[in-house]
Chains A and B, each alone.
Chain A
Amino acid sequence: MSKIKVLAIDDEPGATRMMKINLESLGQYQVEMVNDSTQSIATALRFRPDIILLDMVMPNLDGGDVKRLLQENEELKDIPVLFLTALVSDSDTSSDVSLVESGDGIMIPKPVKTEVLRSCIEQTLSGVL
């Protein structure tokens, strides 16, 4: 079975590296990292991810900009995007999965456990989310 290809876009190299280490240690994921958001489209075209994890607040192009560029691209527009952001929070912090629907799509509040991340990826790819 081929691995699920995840493109992690975050301006903080530590964040993408950590996601890569944790997701890949689960076995079924292959993670590619982008830390300069202007490189997002080029990397996506080359890597052809199954899903994109996108940080919201970044210099140059922010998460919203990247999402628009992805949608404008015929080859990339159907790739699902999950936003990861420190900007939102759910009041009920005791709940493990706390997703916030916004106009842009699904947002996962940081900090996020790998388990939650995996569950969100799986649900998105299986069409539940």
Chain B
Amino acid sequence: MRARPRPRIILKYDVMDAGGDFSEKFGLKHYQSILDNLPVAVFAKDATDEFRFLLWNKKQETISTIPRQRALGRTDYDLFSQESAQYFREMDEKIVRSGKPLEIPEEILETGDRDEVYLHTYKIPIFDHDRTILVGISEDVTETVTNRKALQKASRTIQAKEQEIEKTQLQLIQIAKLESIGQLAAGVAHEVKNPLNLILQGVEYLDRTITEKDENTAFVIEEMNHAITRATKIINELVDFSTSSRFDKRECDLAGLLDGVLLMLRHDCSRLDVQIDRDFAEGLTVHVDQAKFEQVILNVVINAIHALRDVAQPRVAITTRKSTYSDERSEGVRTGKQIRIGDPIVEIEIGDNGAGISPEHLDKVFDPFFTTKPTGVGTGLGLSVVRKIVELHDGFITITNHPTLAGAMVKIVLPE
């Protein structure tokens, strides 16, 4: 048989019989009175008799809302829920087995009519002859715990706010960056487009007057024309930064707008054998500047088509739907009215089955002049202009890798 652990505290009196020196001199009544006037809850269970309660002082009555008469002689299973009782019982058995007192810094006591009560409890096993008694002393720490939880919550809120401020600062820097590009662009554009005009008309003149062109002359003239077109395009895209705030917004049929853009791209699509999957929600309208928004869609779809050059069965999937905004947007510049959780929104998703975007490029794709295309194919202004236009429509745009198609997925969200 396993040796019983050496008891640490020996009770000099018997709780039930009120025997021994102390109670003889002082009387059970007084001893009960001391217990009942303690600011802490005191209870005792008989571990040798199914952990039935032997002691239940006044404070324990207050905390548990269970009167002494009901508790004495009963077990945790009679007084508390199955779950709580099991927790207490396991704890009690562990203490009895170890023979050592245990401090429980925080435990929850369910009570009938009060909210949860938090207790700081000491449980002490007392071994007296053949009986083992488990004494519990509990302090109601509900207020402390509640305060601490409130403090933790406040601290988390502060932390979140701090992060938001930091994010906003970064966004403001980004906006300032874009705005200075816009101002610069407006100034530079005027100065550059006038000479471009002269070059264009000069090349036209040469083209017309040099009637006998050898191969090289024809090449030079053609290349110069291309160069002018390219330079003009870059300048115009830059100017869009500074002029795109003048919007002419109207209610537009979204499906009609998208189909119009797809019509413009039908040659590119059939040439590259790109399959377009349309999944448009019926009757969706958006409040947009149609020309600017067509530019947005055109740009994104062209990007998708460019990404499909070496793909076996190239596909672009365009989906529109009405929804309620639920995600907290994690990045991107916020301008104008911000879409908030619960707001009705219109989502446009444009996905492709190309190679997708490498993770290190994901947060750069909206930067002006960022491009992965060879010189002359893309200026890198496209997506930054796209984002600006979407934001001036009080929406936002995100780019991720498509969950099923493996390529990139651009999602444009507009307020409904």
Contact = CB atoms under 8 A, between A and B. Distances in A.
Contacts of B199: 111
Interface stretch (B92-100, B143-151, B188-196): B188-196
A14 interface: yes
Given A86-B189, A91-B292, A92-B295, A112 B239 contact: no
A21 B205 contact: yes
Given A15-B198, A111-B197, A92 B291 contact: yes
B198 A91 contact: no
Interface in B185-217: 189-194, 196-202, 204-205, 208-209
Contact of B202 (A18, A25, A90): A18
B80 to A, nearest CB: 71
B245 interface: no
**Main secondary structure on chain B at its contact with chain A?**
helix
B235 interface: yes
Interface in A44-95: 57, 86-93
B232 interface: yes
A22 B205 contact: yes
Interface residues of A, number: 23
Contacts of A89: 189, 235-236, 239-240, 243
Nearest to B193: A86
Contact of A111 (B191, B200, B291, B292): B200
A57 B187 CA distance: 12
B228 interface: yes
Given A91-B292, A92-B295, A111-B196, A19 B201 contact: yes
A104 interface: no
Contacts of A110: 193-194, 196-197
A64 to B, nearest CB: 15
B228 A111 contact: yes
Contacts of A15: 194, 197-198
Contacts of B190: 57, 86-87
B233 interface: yes
Contacts of B204: 22, 113-114
B263 to A, nearest CB: 14
Contact of B198 (A18, A87, A92, A113): A18
Contacts of A21: 201, 205
Nearest to A10: B194
Contacts of A14: 198
A122 interface: no
Interface string A89-125: 1111100000000000000011111100000000000
Contacts of A93: 229, 232-233, 236-237
A91 B295 contact: yes
A113 B239 contact: no
Interface in A11-60: 12, 14-15, 18-19, 21-22, 25, 57
Interface in B300-316: none
Contacts of B200: 111-113
Contact of B197 (A86, A87, A91): A86
B18 to A, nearest CB: 96
A92 B295 CA distance: 7
Contacts of B192: 86
Given A25-B208, A110-B194, A111-B228, A91 B291 contact: yes
Given A86-B190, A86-B193, 17 more contacts: A12-B194, A12-B198, A14-B198, A18-B201, A22-B205, A25-B208, A25-B209, A86-B197, A87-B189, A89-B189, A89-B240, A90-B236, A91-B240, A92-B295, A110-B193, A112-B197, A114-B204
Interface of B: 189-194, 196-202, 204-205, 208-209, 228-229, 232-233, 235-237, 239-240, 243-244, 291-292, 295
16 contacts: A18-B198, A18-B201, A18-B202, A22-B204, A25-B205, A87-B189, A91-B291, A93-B232, A93-B233, A109-B193, A110-B197, A111-B201, A111-B228, A111-B232, A113-B201, A114-B201
